[in-house]
Structure 1
Amino acid sequence: MTAEKANNLLEQIARSKKEGRLPPVHDWHPPFCGDIDMVIKADGSWHYMGSPIGRERMVRLFSTVLRRDDDDYFLVTPVEKVGITVEDVPFVVTAVQVRDVEGAQVLEFTTSVGDTVVASAENPMRVELDPQTQEPRPYILIRDRLEARIHRNVFYELVEMAKPTLIDGVEWFGVESAGEFFRIAPVS
């Protein structure tokens, strides 16, 4: 992708952002224009042509037009669709706040690109085990098949507030949010 095409893509994204909400990327079906040398690293940092993108506003802008189709990730505008590489998932949760909403505990997560989401049936949290290290890898659905990995520090906060609950004859440590129980690990 040339610098001119990259600037054109940025202009298109900025125009779609003027409405003050996320662009309707799932309603856009432009032609595929090829892959670009953009990578979202496992640590949540964004890189273009091997260099980190240091401007937070630019990363946030790109994050608003990110779409996942099957197992591939794309930046999508009304007129272009370009493929990018995502090493794990595109976002990282950097903070959690515990709130009381009408007597129910709600966990509100914030990502490194400024998205906020409440763990709920619509935005479930899950924990996988790394196949090599057996360390837990927690995730939460942010939007439209796009997940965030929950940063280790935030995960430790969740572990601190975890309580045992019996589910189908198995006792699990987990957390509640918006009336849902999210499993962290079985009780040994």
Structure 2
Amino acid sequence: MPETRPPLELAGRSLDEIAAAAAARGGPPVERWNPSHCGDSGMRIDREGRWFHDGKRIERDALVRLFASVLRRESDGRHVLVTPVEKLDIAVELAALRITAMTHEGEGEGRRIAFQVSDGTALILGPDHGLRFVDGLPLVTVRGGIEASFERPVWYELAELALASDPPGLWSAGARFPFPLS
């Protein structure tokens, strides 16, 4: 059964509305499910956030959102798809999800930055959803160790905000994220 909830959209919403909608959305309690490992799913997520099964791209966004809702990152760094009765490995090349849009309110230390995530959720960059760089590529924590990389236009928009401060960096929800220049 495909995911039936529409993705959370940022457009036309305040950051307070986005935060409330994100908190209310919830999802399956994958962190509480501990079934036996069943093998490999035959699925992978490439560097651009595209999902594949047995080499064929999964084109239906609702189906990808459904799979993403049962995605979990294990303590050893592996990604798995988990249900109450099975656990299957899934290969992830860079990050499991993508940041597809952003909006922000405020300035300096009072700024808050919201991101729309490819799994249909949204988040506010801050202490619970940190930003880090791996080999110069930005990644944001979505949930439970699952990270998202950025669509290029969103990354450029975020970089423009970061480079406008001295030293380069971002404030969001009371947390500061330094911005590497190399």
TM bucket normalised to smaller: 0.7 to 0.9
Partner of 1:53: 58
In the alignment, is residue 80 of structure 1 matched against residue 86 of structure 2?
yes
Give 1:179 deviation, angstroms: 1.3
Q: What is the identity, as a one-letter code, of the residue corresponding to 2:42?
A: D
Aligned equivalent of 2:104, options 98, 103, 109: 98
Unpaired segments ≥5 residues, structure 2: 5-24
**SS at 2:66's partner residue?**
helix
Unpaired segments ≥5 residues, structure 1: 1-9, 15-19, 130-135, 166-171
1:1-188, aligned counterparts within 5 Å? 21-69=26-74, 70-100=76-106, 104-129=110-135, 136-162=136-162, 163-165=164-166, 172-186=167-181
Looking at structure 2, the residues matched to 151 and 117 of structure 1 have their Cα atoms a distance apart, in angstroms, of 16
Write the deviation string for residues 62-81 of structure 1: whole angstroms up to 9, x where unpaired: 00000111221110000111
Q: TM-score normalized by structure 1? A: 0.77
Give 1:23 deviation, angstroms: 0.6
Alignment RMSD (CA, Å): 2.4
Looking at structure 2, the residues matched to 29 and 161 of structure 1 have their Cα atoms a distance apart, in angstroms, of 41
Give 1:100 deviation, angstroms: 4.0
Alpha carbons 1:127, 1:183 under 8 Å: kept: no
**With CA pairs under 8 Å and 6+ residues apart, which has the higher RCO, 1 or 2?**
2
Q: Given the superposition, is the C-alpha separation of residues 128 and 84 from structure 1 closer, same or farther in structure 2, using an over 3 Å criterion? A: closer
Q: TM-score normalized by structure 2? A: 0.80
Partner of 1:17: none
Write the deviation string for residues 74-104 of structure 1: whole angstroms up to 9, x where unpaired: 1000011111111111011111111249x92
Give the ranges of 4+ consecutive aligned residues of structure 1 lying more than 6 Å apart after TM superposition.
none
Looking at structure 2, the residues matched to 145 and 155 of structure 1 have their Cα atoms a distance apart, in angstroms, of 20
Looking at structure 1, the residues matched to 54 and 133 of structure 2 have their Cα atoms a distance apart, in angstroms, of 32
Looking at structure 2, the residues matched to 124 and 182 of structure 1 have their Cα atoms a distance apart, in angstroms, of 8
Looking at structure 2, the residues matched to 105 and 39 of structure 1 have their Cα atoms a distance apart, in angstroms, of 36
